[in-house]
Amino acid sequence: MKQFMCLDVGGTKIRGALFGDENIEPIRQQKIPTQNQGQKVEDRICGLIREIWPVNSNVDAIAIAAPGFVDSDKGVVIRAVNIPGWEFLPLQKILQDKFNTPVIIGNDARLAALGEWKYGAAIGHHDVIYLTISTGIGGGVIIKDRVLMGSRGMATELGHITILPDGPLCSCGQKGHLEAISSGPAIAQFVQEEIKNGKKSSVSALKNFSSKEIAQAAFEGDELCQLAYKRAGSFLGMALVNLLHTFNPTCVVLGGGVSFTGDLLLEPMQKEIEKSILSKEYLGNLTFSTAKLGENAGLIGGLVLITVNNL
């Protein structure tokens, strides 16, 4: 039996799992905090790999899901916004040298897309768009059963698509990206600014509030909070229309915490899509679905990436 190891490196946690062949139930799994004072994140990754390494047997390949811009061809993390110091980090080489087994790295959202396509919400579809909407917005696209990587593995940065020129500032430093309008922090930012501008909202009584508290207040009838989700959902719909015109898929999968607020976000999204689509033909064979693999999507996507590449 072949054994594969997959890791998903997030801003706060690193999750690791050992898989046997193509079975998506891990033989063993563990998670640790990403940061620990005085330690490099890449050293913590190595530590976690050692901890779940099988006794008396080998690992046939390692896949790493990493946040931010990942050059899969060169095996380099170009920039990871949530992990300070990760700039042009040759993660593939570091791990290959240490563990003497093939290593493959990929953007976490692209790997999650692969996972949802093979084992989750998009089983049986050949052309899929996956968007994860949480602290950031990431994306992955499957075209005729292959994940779109781009010439350097930097394709489908779908959170960083300009949807409102000169709009709000994005985490990447540019303006008006989808992530700067429809992500969790962007929703909170919008409400904060409207409150500063004199708008009333029940959340203004809270010391801190995030998109979660805003969702709760919106469910309870708070108009500003409802507007915040309506705005985020409409722009999300506009971005999706652009993606439907670009990819003409049969399945759209939405993952990430913000998408689980349901109709609050999805109703204005659907309205915008119906209003702005070029032709109903784009919608005739299209399914919308929420992600099914939960927090394991990146790990399972890593497993798919390994088997697709025959490592």
Nearest 5°: the CA angle 109, 114, 118 is 145
Our CB check for a copy of itself shows the closer of 206 and 283 to be: 283
Q: What is the DSSP string of 233-263?
A: HHHHHHHHHHHHHHH--SEEEEESGGGGGTH
Stretch in the footprint of a copy of itself (CB under 8 A) among 2-10, 198-206, 236-244, 291-299: 236-244
Minimum CB–partner distance for residue 97 and a copy of itself (Å) = 23
308 binds a copy of itself (CB under 8 A): no
Burial of residue 279 (CB within 10 Å: 0-12, 13-18, 19+) is exposed
242 binds a copy of itself (CB under 8 A): yes
For the chain, the farthest-separated pair of C-alpha atoms sits apart, in whole angstroms, at: 66
How many residues of this chain interact with a copy of itself, rule: CB under 8 A?
43
69 binds a copy of itself (CB under 8 A): yes
Q: Which of residues 107-126 bind a copy of itself (CB under 8 A)?
A: 126
User: How many beta carbons lie within 10 A of that of residue 293, not counting itself?
Assistant: 20
231 binds a copy of itself (CB under 8 A): no
Where does the chain show beta strands of DSSP type E?
A: 3-9, 13-20, 28-33, 61-66, 69-71, 76-79, 87-89, 103-107, 128-133, 137-143, 146-147, 251-255, 287-290
Minimum CB–partner distance for residue 89 and a copy of itself (Å) = 13
Site map 153..172 versus a copy of itself, x via CB under 8 A: xxxxxx-xxxxxx------x
Q: Which of 152, 231, 271, 292 binds a copy of itself (CB under 8 A)?
A: 152
CA distance 58 to 46: 16
Q: Are 299 and 59 in contact, with CB atoms under 8 Å apart?
A: no
Our CB check for a copy of itself shows the closer of 17 and 122 to be: 122
Our CB check for a copy of itself shows the closer of 42 and 71 to be: 71
Stretch in the footprint of a copy of itself (CB under 8 A) among 46-54, 90-98, 152-160, 184-192: 152-160
Please compute, for residue 145, the number of CA atoms within 13 A of its CA located in the half-sphere on the CB side.
4
Residues that bind a copy of itself in the complex, under the rule CB under 8 A:
69, 71, 78-79, 126-127, 143-144, 146, 148-158, 160-165, 172, 174, 238, 241-242, 245-250, 276, 278-279, 281-282, 285
